[in-house]
């Protein structure tokens, strides 16, 4: 699984049929040995720590705007 960075968006697919995916922004990347987990602010406003499992999370990279001259 690709690793996310602060500002990237996460999409967590539902494990139940008919339920919507959850989306949020990575606020902090936390490491414990070789494991990576994230502090996330979800679209509904609450925050939690996410320990992603294989195949359950998609990461949408934060786009960086070019400086205007």
Q: What is the pLDDT of residues 12-37, one digit of tens each?
A: 887 778 888 899 999 999 988 888 89
Q: Is residue 56 part of a domain?
A: yes
- Please give the distance of CA 47 from its chain centroid, rounded to a whole number: 11
pTM above 0.85, yes or no: no
Q: Is residue 31 part of a domain?
A: yes
Q: Is residue 13 part of a domain?
A: yes
Residue 5 has pLDDT above 60, yes or no: yes
Give the integer Cα–Cα distance in Å for 63 and 14: 25
Number of domains forming the structure of the chain: 1
Q: What is the pLDDT of residue 1?
A: 61
Domain encompassing residue 28: 9-60
Q: Is residue 69 part of a domain?
A: no
Task: Report in angstroms the alpha-carbon separations of 7 from 19, 64, 65, 69.
Answer: 25, 10, 13, 24
- DSSP 8-state class, residue 16: S
Q: Is residue 38 part of a domain?
A: yes
**How many C-beta atoms lie closer than 10 Å to residue 29's C-beta?**
14
Domain at 32, CATH number: 2.30.30
Q: Is residue 21 part of a domain?
A: yes
């Amino acid at each position: 699984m690709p690793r996310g960075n602060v500002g990237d968006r996460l999409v967590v697919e539902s494990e139940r049929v008919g339920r919507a995916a959850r989306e949020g922004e990575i606020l902090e990347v936390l490491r414990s040995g070789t494991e990576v987990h994230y502090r996330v602010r979800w679209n509904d406003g609450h925050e939690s720590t996410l320990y992603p499992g294989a195949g359950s999370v998609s990461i949408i990279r934060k786009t960086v705007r070019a400086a205007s001259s």
